[in-house]
Structure 1
Amino acid sequence: MSVKGVILVSVMVAMMAVMVKIYPNYPTGRMGVLFYYCTSSHQVRKEMNATKESLASLPVSPSTPVTFVIHGFTESSIRSWVISLTDALLAHDSKSVVILVDYWDLTTISRPYMMGNVRHIAGVTAHLIDLLVEEKGVRLANVHVIGFSLGGRISGLVGERIQTGTLGRITGIDASYPWLPPRTNSEFLDAGDADLVVNIRTSPVGSHSPPGHIDFYANGGLSQPGCQRWYFPEKVEQICSHYRAVWLMVEAVEHAGQGVFPACRCPDWESFQDHQCDCQIVNNFGLFPNSSILGNFFFSTHSVSPYSKPL
C-alpha cells in the first residue's frame, strides 16, 4: 500500500473511532500509560502502575503465565476484541494473569508526537516487565506480549527495551505503524525482539513488517473473505481485513489445543492456491504454534465465524 494509502486508512480509523463514540473522553496525554490486570475476567480488572508498590498485591509467582495485550492506534483496553481475547486467555488458563496496556490518552494525529509516545509506551511497559522479573521472580519465558496493529510495533520496542533478559514470546496481530514506516527494523517488531516472534498478516496495513520466526498469512495476508463488498470503498475493505486479524486471534485462543487454523508452509500465496505445496510441513496459528518449525505459513478461512477451516 502506498504512503498516501496508509495515511488515509489511519485518518479514517481515527475519525470512525470518534464518530461512533467508542471512547468516553478525548485524549489529553495527562494520564499517560495505564495498566490493568485481570485474573478471572476482563470485567473484574484492577488498575496498576509500573512501580514496586503496585506490584506488591499482584497475584503472580515465578511459574505464572503472564500475557500483555496492547491495543492498536485510536483504540483503548475496552474495545470488544480486547475484552473477548482477555476472557479467552483466562478461560484457557485460570492460573494466568492478563495485563492490559492502555495508551488511549497518548493517542494523537501528530506523527512526531505519536512516534515519541510509542517509544514512551514501550519503555514504561518494558520497565513493568523488568519489575515483574526483579520483584516477583516472573520468568521471561512465561511472558507473552500480544500486540495488534500499532500495538504490534510497540510490542517489538518492548522486547528491545527489556533489561533483565530476552522476552519469551511476542505475537504481532497484523502489526503496523501510524502513517509512515520506521527507518530501521529496530523501530519495528522483528525476530530479534523475543525468543519466539509470531506474526499473523491479514491486510496491506500489516504487510510491511519484517519477518518474525513464524509468519502466518491468512488468505494471502492482504484481503479477507467477507470484506470485499461491492459498496465498500477500497480503504474500508482494508480496515475490515485489518480487524479480521484480532477475531482470528480470539477464535484461536478460544479453541487452543484443538488444531484450529492449520497452515501450510509455502513460498507464497499463489503456490498455496495452485496446490503446488505438498503441505507436508504444517503449523497452527494460535497459542501453540510449533516453535521448531519456522518460516512462512499460509491458510484460508471462512468469511464468517467460525473462521478456521481444514487445509
Structure 2
Amino acid sequence: YLPAWHVAFVCYENLGCFSNDMPWSGTIERPISRLPWSPEKINAHFLLFTRENLNVYQVNKDVIAASQYKPTRKTRFIIHGFIDKGDENWLLDMCQLMLQVEDINCICVDWKTGARTLYTQAANNIRVVGAQVAYMISVFKSFQQKPQDVHVIGHSLGAHCAAEAGQRTPGLGRITGLDPAEPYFQGCPAIVRLDPTDAQFVDVIHTDDETCYFILGFGMFQAVGHIDFYPNGGEHMPGCDKNIISQICCMFFLFHSTRDFVACNHLRSYKYYSDSILTPQGFMGYPCSNDDIFVFQGHCFPCANSACAIMGHYADTFQVPNGVEKMKFYLNTGDARPFSRYRYKVTITIDGSRTNMGYFLVALYGTKTSNQRCSFLICFSGILKPGKTYQLLIDVEKDVGDLTHVKFLWNNNVLNPLLPKFGATKITVQRGKDRRAFTFCGYEKVRENVLQTLSPC
C-alpha cells in the first residue's frame, strides 16, 4: 500500500455516502485519491426505448408513471464507458435490435458529463452513477417489478458501474460486462470491480487485454463473471490492426474521432453483443482452459451435452452449475461484420497419382446455403500425399444447416508437365454445436483447379 492520505467522505440524497478510503484509493492499483462528483455535476440521464415509443426521452423517478415503462416487461439498462455518451449510435442501435426480438424496457444511461474528464475521476464517478441505477431499480419495485427481471449491461467503466448497481440491489437478475475496464480495477478487491456476487448471473466478454507499451490494455483479462468469454483469445481482435500511431494514441487515451482506430479491440465487445442478438448460434463459446489449447491444439471441440454457452445476449440460457463461477469459454469471430462464425471439424482423406506440394480447399453446402453462392475455405497447404488423412478446424461465416454435399478443389500454382491428379476419397464434417457428423465420399481424381463434388455415403 501507498503512504497515508486524508480520508474524506461525500454523501448524497437517496444514494448514501462515498469515501476515498482503501480500497478505493491508496493502493498500488488505485494510487490517486478521488471522490466521486455529485449527481448534479455528473448530470446522468436515463433514456427509454420501448416498442410503443422508439423515440428517446428522459426518464426520471417523477415521470415513470407517465412514460411507456411497463413493470410487466423485462428492463435492460445499457451503460457506456469513458469519454462516451448515452446517445451514441451503438447504445441506441443495441436497444433497437433488442426490441426487434423482445418486448422490453430498454434504458440507455447517459453520464457523459461525468465520463468526459480525467480517467481517475471518471473511474470514481461510476460509483454515483451505479447508485443512481440502483435507486431507479428500487423505484421500479414500487411498480411491482422484481430485481430479477432487470439486466444491466455495461461497457468498459460501465461494467464496473453495473457492479455498483448490483452490489446495492439484492437479487439483481443479470449483469453483462462488455470488456470491463482494466486500469484502476484489475486486481482490486471485489467491492471495487465487477464480480460474480453482483448479480444472480454475471457474464463477461473480454476483447482487449493487449498491452500498449507500458500501459495495460483497456480491458481486463481477469475472469470476473460466472461465465467469461474470450473471443479470439481476448487480446487482439481480427480486423484491429496495431501500428505505431495507434500505440502512441493509446498512451494518451484518445477516444474521440480516433477511438474506433485506437480502441478497436475494446469496442468490439459491444459490437459482438449487438450481433449476437439476431445471430446467437454464430457466437457459440467452447469451454476451454486457455486459447492455445482451443486454437493450436484443437481441443475443447465439439460441445458436450449442454457444455457450450452462447456469447452475448443469450448467455443466460446457459445453466451454470451450482456454486461454480469464472467458467472460461473461447470462440473465433470474423474480422468485420458479420462477426458470427460457425465452427466445424473437417477430416479429409485424399488420393492422388504422386506426392506433390500444393493446397486444397473445401466448400460446404447445406440446407441453408445456395449452390451458386458458397465460399471455399483453405483447409491445408503443404505436402499432399496420397492416402493421407488431414484433420482441421474451420470457422465458417454462414450457418449452412444440415450438410447435403461438399466440394473439393486443389492446386499447387506450378505448371507440372506430369499433370498430377488428386481427389478426396472421404470427407467427414463434424458440427461443433451438437457433435453431429456428416460423411461424404468421392470416387475420382481431378487435375488442379477442377471441382470435385462429394455426395453422402
Q: TM-score, normalised on structure 1?
A: 0.81
Q: 1:262 to 1:31 in 2, by over 3 A?
A: closer
Tell me the CA shift for residue 254 of structure 1: 2.8
SS in structure 2 of the partner of residue 117 of structure 1: helix
Which amino acid in structure 2 is aligned with residue 127 of structure 1? Y
Residue 21 of structure 1 is matched in structure 2 by none
Tell me how far apart the structure 2 counterparts of residues 45 and 217 of structure 1 sit (CA, whole Å). 33
**C-alpha distance after superposition, 1:133-187 (max 9, x if no partner):** 1x2111222111110011011011110012xx31000111001155564731211
Residue 312 of structure 2 is matched in structure 1 by 286
Greater shift, 232-241 or 81-90, is seen at 232-241
Task: Structure 2 unaligned segments of length 5 or more: list them.
Answer: 1-28, 31-38, 210-217, 251-258, 344-457
Tell me how far apart the structure 2 counterparts of residues 113 and 284 of structure 1 sit (CA, whole Å). 35
- 1:180-191 paired onto structure 2 within 5 Å: 181=186, 183-191=188-196
- Aligned residues of 2:294 and 2:330 also touching (Cα < 8 A): yes
Count of residues in Structure 1 that have an aligned counterpart in Structure 2:
278
Residue 211 of structure 1 is matched in structure 2 by 224
Tell me the CA shift for residue 291 of structure 1: 3.0
Which amino acid in structure 1 is aligned with residue 51 of structure 2? S
SS in structure 1 of the partner of residue 330 of structure 2: strand
Tell me how far apart the structure 2 counterparts of residues 229 and 115 of structure 1 sit (CA, whole Å). 26
Tell me the CA shift for residue 113 of structure 1: 3.5
- Aligned residues of 2:287 and 2:329 also touching (Cα < 8 A): yes
Structure 2 residue 287 is matched with structure 1 residue 265: yes
Residue 87 of structure 1 is matched in structure 2 by 96
Residue 193 of structure 1 is matched in structure 2 by 198
- Aligned residues of 2:155 and 2:178 also touching (Cα < 8 A): yes
SS in structure 2 of the partner of residue 136 of structure 1: coil
The one of 129, 132, 137 equivalent to 1:121 is 129
Which amino acid in structure 2 is aligned with residue 160 of structure 1? Q
The one of 69, 87, 106 equivalent to 2:114 is 106
Q: 1:197 to 1:31 in 2, by over 3 A?
A: closer
- Aligned residues of 1:202 and 1:217 also touching (Cα < 8 A): yes
Residue 10 of structure 1 is matched in structure 2 by none
Tell me the CA shift for residue 88 of structure 1: 0.5
Tell me the CA shift for residue 255 of structure 1: 2.8
Residue 30 of structure 1 is matched in structure 2 by 41
Greater shift, 99-108 or 143-152, is seen at 99-108
**C-alpha distance after superposition, 1:64-93 (max 9, x if no partner):** 111000011111112121121011011111
- 1:112-261 paired onto structure 2 within 5 Å: 113-133=121-141, 135-162=142-169, 165-177=170-182, 181=186, 183-204=188-209, 205-228=218-241, 233-234=246-247, 235=250, 239-256=263-280, 259-261=281-283
Tell me the CA shift for residue 297 of structure 1: 0.4
- Aligned residues of 1:42 and 1:86 also touching (Cα < 8 A): no
Q: 1:177 to 1:217 in 2, by over 3 A?
A: closer
**C-alpha distance after superposition, 1:243-291 (max 9, x if no partner):** 11111111011335xx220111000000001212233332111222233
Residue 276 of structure 1 is matched in structure 2 by 299
Which amino acid in structure 2 is aligned with residue 203 of structure 1? D
Tell me the CA shift for residue 121 of structure 1: 0.6
SS in structure 2 of the partner of residue 144 of structure 1: strand
SS in structure 2 of the partner of residue 215 of structure 1: strand
Greater shift, 300-309 or 227-236, is seen at 227-236
Q: Answer with 1 or 2: which has the greater Rg.
A: 2
**C-alpha distance after superposition, 1:205-246 (max 9, x if no partner):** 222454201111110001100112556534477611111111
- Aligned residues of 1:42 and 1:87 also touching (Cα < 8 A): no
- Aligned residues of 2:123 and 2:184 also touching (Cα < 8 A): no
The one of 45, 49, 53 equivalent to 2:56 is 45
Residue 340 of structure 2 is matched in structure 1 by 308
- Aligned residues of 2:75 and 2:106 also touching (Cα < 8 A): yes
Q: 1:178 to 1:54 in 2, by over 3 A?
A: farther
Tell me how far apart the structure 2 counterparts of residues 278 and 107 of structure 1 sit (CA, whole Å). 41
Tell me how far apart the structure 1 counterparts of residues 275 and 69 of structure 2 sit (CA, whole Å). 26
Between the aligned residues of both structures, percent identity stands at 25
Q: 1:225 to 1:232 in 2, by over 3 A?
A: farther
- Aligned residues of 1:169 and 1:196 also touching (Cα < 8 A): yes
Q: TM-score, normalised on structure 2?
A: 0.57
- Aligned residues of 2:182 and 2:220 also touching (Cα < 8 A): no
Residue 24 of structure 1 is matched in structure 2 by none
Alignment RMSD (CA, Å): 2.6
SS in structure 2 of the partner of residue 98 of structure 1: strand
- Aligned residues of 2:154 and 2:176 also touching (Cα < 8 A): yes
- Aligned residues of 2:52 and 2:68 also touching (Cα < 8 A): no
